[in-house]
Amino acid sequence: MNDDSIAIAENFPFKTVSDETAESGLGLLQRPPTIPDYLQDTYWWAYLHPKSLWFFEREWVVNLILWGNMKKLTNAVLDETNFEQGSEVLQVACVYGNFSDRLASHLAISHSKLSIIDVAPIQLRNVKKKLDDHDNVSVHHQDSTDMLFANDSFNHSVVFFLLHEQPEEALRKTIAEAVRVTRPGGKVVFVDYHGPHRSNPMRYLMKPVLTMLEPYALALWRDALTVFLPAEIRQEQISSEFYFGGLYQKVVLQL
Ligand SMILES: C[S@@+](CC[C@H](N)C(=O)[O-])C[C@H]1O[C@@H](n2cnc3c(N)ncnc32)[C@H](O)[C@@H]1O
């Protein structure tokens, strides 16, 4: 365990790699996940720098970045998460604003539990503090491309605006991991960017912005998210919806 992980484990009781390893009974020594290069190089200013939390952790900022669509896109997820009583639900990666708060409250109605993973300790500390009053939430230090959870650990999974930040290889692995840890019969819900219609002016406004700030997002403009799904997913298991002239997409897999 590196120094940062030790400090975090002492001050914030989120689950570290050694906890997960002990609980799984594997008895193997696992290294804590390291910050991926793409996150360090491209997104240090948004997720790793202490000032990033100060700036981005406000609902109006997140809403502005999503052109006023935060509520609509959060509701698009909540519409899919009227789960059976006592479900175990995974949220892959932390999100600024009140997305996780709303998801945790929504799941509490069905006495369901929410497990949140993230690779960045600073984000885990923040989410832990933010969701402290929810007793159905646990947070875990894990990498979305190589989770420590056993196969079929969760009833359902949610991946909200993570994929566009990842290079294609990591994006494919994240999708495959979300499918792997979700049980047959469950749902995997993705919400992310999508290439807008040619008639949508956002196409011309957002392309240079994303090229400069979020270059990996352009893979989701070029190809439908469904292109990156594992081969075993059949067409009839997939449903897609689009928002804001096609700038955003929701893809739901029924496993
Ligand atoms: C879900 S995305 C962004 C969502 C949205 N733009 C928002 O408002 O926050 C950002 C999070 O993904 C996390 N992340 C990036 N790559 C990851 C990975 N490989 N495994 C786990 N978390 C990852 C970052 O640390 C960050 O907390």
Kind and range of the H or E run holding 4:
helix 3-11
Q: What is the pLDDT of residue 179?
A: 98
pLDDT over 50 at 26, yes or no: no
How far does the centroid of ligand 1 lie from the alpha carbon of residue 93, in Å?
A: 5
How far does the centroid of ligand 1 lie from the alpha carbon of residue 139, in Å?
A: 14
Establish if 5 belongs to a structural domain. Answer: no
Q: Tell me, using a 6 A CB cutoff, whether residue 148 lines ligand 1.
A: no
pLDDT over 60 at 176, yes or no: yes
Note the Cα 25 to chain centre separation in Å: 26
Give the CATH number for residue 75: 3.40.50.150
Establish if 85 belongs to a structural domain. Answer: yes
Establish if 68 belongs to a structural domain. Answer: yes
The pair phi, psi for residue 209, each rounded to 5°, is -65, -50
Q: Return the ligand 1 atom nearest residue 117 CA.
A: 21
Q: Tell me, using a 6 A CB cutoff, whether residue 14 lines ligand 1.
A: no
Establish if 58 belongs to a structural domain. Answer: yes
Inter-residue contact 227 to 175 (CB < 8 Å): no
- In percent, the amount of the chain with pLDDT more than 70 equals 88
CA distance 60 to 53: 14
CA distance 156 to 184: 9
How far does the centroid of ligand 1 lie from the alpha carbon of residue 162, in Å?
A: 5
Establish if 16 belongs to a structural domain. Answer: no
pLDDT range class, residue 125, cuts 50, 70, 90: very high
pLDDT range class, residue 141, cuts 50, 70, 90: very high
Tokens representing 37 are 């290069």
The best mutation among 95, 142, 159, 213 to test binding of ligand 1, ranked by most ligand atoms within 8 Å of the C-beta, falls on 95
Q: Return the ligand 1 atom nearest residue 161 CA.
A: 4
Inter-residue contact 65 to 95 (CB < 8 Å): no
Q: Where are the alpha helices (DSSP H) in 110-198?
A: 121-130, 168-181
Establish if 6 belongs to a structural domain. Answer: no
SS3 call for 95: coil
Q: Tell me, using a 6 A CB cutoff, whether residue 145 lines ligand 1.
A: yes
Note the Cα 227 to chain centre separation in Å: 19
The pair phi, psi for residue 252, each rounded to 5°, is -115, 125
Establish if 32 belongs to a structural domain. Answer: no
Residues 64-90: tens digit of each pLDDT? 889 999 999 999 999 998 888 999 999
Q: What is the pLDDT of residue 20?
A: 66
- The two beta strands, 187-193 and 156-160, are parallel
The best mutation among 14, 56, 58, 94 to test binding of ligand 1, ranked by most ligand atoms within 8 Å of the C-beta, falls on 94
CA distance 128 to 138: 8
How far does the centroid of ligand 1 lie from the alpha carbon of residue 114, in Å?
A: 17
Tell the residue nearest (CA) to atom 25 of ligand 1: 120
Strand locations in the chain (E)? 88-92, 113-118, 137-141, 156-160, 187-193, 238-243, 248-254
Q: What is the pLDDT of residue 218?
A: 92
Q: Return the ligand 1 atom nearest residue 166 CA.
A: 16
- The two beta strands, 248-254 and 238-243, are antiparallel
SS3 call for 167: coil
Q: Where is pLDDT greater, at 245 or 253?
A: 253
CA distance 24 to 171: 26
The pair phi, psi for residue 72, each rounded to 5°, is -60, -40
Establish if 122 belongs to a structural domain. Answer: yes
Is the model's pTM score more than 0.85? yes
What domain count does the chain have? 1
Q: What is the pLDDT of residue 46?
A: 87
**Full residue range of the structural domain in which residue 180 is found:** 37-254
Q: What is the pLDDT of residue 4?
A: 44
- DSSP letter, residue 228: G
How far does the centroid of ligand 1 lie from the alpha carbon of residue 161, in Å?
A: 8
Q: Where is pLDDT greater, at 126 or 6?
A: 126
